Chains A and B, each alone.
Chain A
C-alpha cells in the first residue's frame, strides 16, 4: 500500500516567494497532521485536520502560514511570503480512529529559503 506522499521532496526558493507543500494521506485515514522539524526546535506540530476540517492550528507560527484540506486525499501547506527562518523539513502524517493508532509519516519536504 502507498504511504503518505509528499511533494516536492526538496524546494529551494528566494525570500519573499510563495511556497506550496503538498500531501496525500493514506487512503481511509481521517486525520492529517503537518509538522516542522528543525535542529533548534525539534518536531513541531503546526496544524491537524479531522475529516478535512482544521481542529487545532495553534502551532502555525504566523499569518504567513496557511493550510487547507479540500478533500480527503489532498492537503497543502502554504507560506507567503517565505523567509529564511522558514527553512526546515516539513512532514505530513496521517492516521485514523481510534485514538490509540500511531501516525504514518511521509518522507518530508526539505525547504530552503535563500
Chain B
C-alpha cells in the first residue's frame, strides 16, 4: 500500500537559517512527488514536484526539494527561512500511471521565529 510519512509534527527554525522538512514514502514503482503549503483558512497551494531527471527540484518562494531514491525520501529545503514561511507543509505521492489518486502526508507545521 502507498504511504507517506512526515516524521515531524513541527519544525522550529530562526529566520535566516536553513530549513528542512522531512518526507519519506512507500510506493511501488517510480512515483510523482509533490510538496504543498497551507496557510491559515486557505486551501493547499502547490510548491514543487518531482517527475524525473535532476534529483534537486526547485519550486516557488525559494523552496527546493531533494529526491533520494535509495532512501525513498523527498525532503523540502530552503537556504534562508522567512517568518512568512510559517505554515503547514504537506508531502504527497502519486503512483506513476496509476491514475490521479494522491496520498498526502499528515503535514508538518513550520514555525519561523524572527
Give A contacts to B, CB under 8 Å: 4, 31, 33, 42-43, 45, 48, 50, 55-56, 91, 93, 95, 99-100, 102-108, 110
- Closest beta carbon of chain B to A28's beta carbon, Å: 15
The 8 A-B pairs with the shortest beta carbon distances in the complex, nearest first, are A105-B43, A102-B46, A105-B44, A43-B104, A42-B106, A107-B43, A100-B51, A106-B43
- Closest beta carbon of chain B to A70's beta carbon, Å: 20
User: What CA separation (Å) do A91 and B42 show in the bound complex?
Assistant: 10
Residues of B within 8 A of A103 (CB): 44, 46, 102
Q: A42-B106, A45-B101 are in contact. Are A99 and B44 (CB under 8 A)?
A: no
State whether B107 touches A42 (Cβ < 8 A): yes
Instruction: Name B13-40 residues within 8 Å CB distance of A.
Output: 32, 34, 36
Minimal Cβ-Cβ distance residue in B for A10: B41
- Closest beta carbon of chain B to A36's beta carbon, Å: 12
State whether A99 touches B99 (Cβ < 8 A): yes
State whether B43 touches A99 (Cβ < 8 A): no
Minimal Cβ-Cβ distance residue in A for B52: A100
Q: How many A-B residue pairs have CB under 8 A?
A: 54
Give B contacts to A, CB under 8 Å: 32, 34, 36, 41-46, 49, 51, 90, 94, 96-97, 99-102, 104-107
Residues of B within 8 A of A102 (CB): 34, 36, 46, 49
Residues of A within 8 A of B96 (CB): 99
State whether B32 touches A99 (Cβ < 8 A): yes
Residues of B within 8 A of A45 (CB): 101-102
User: What CA separation (Å) do A19 and B63 show in the bound complex?
Assistant: 39
Which of these, A48, A104, A108, contacts B100 with CB under 8 Å? A48
A-B contact pairs, 25 of them (CB 8 A): A31-B100, A33-B100, A42-B105, A42-B106, A43-B104, A43-B107, A45-B102, A48-B101, A55-B100, A91-B43, A93-B44, A99-B94, A99-B100, A100-B32, A102-B34, A102-B46, A103-B44, A103-B102, A104-B46, A105-B36, A105-B44, A107-B41, A107-B43, A108-B43, A110-B41
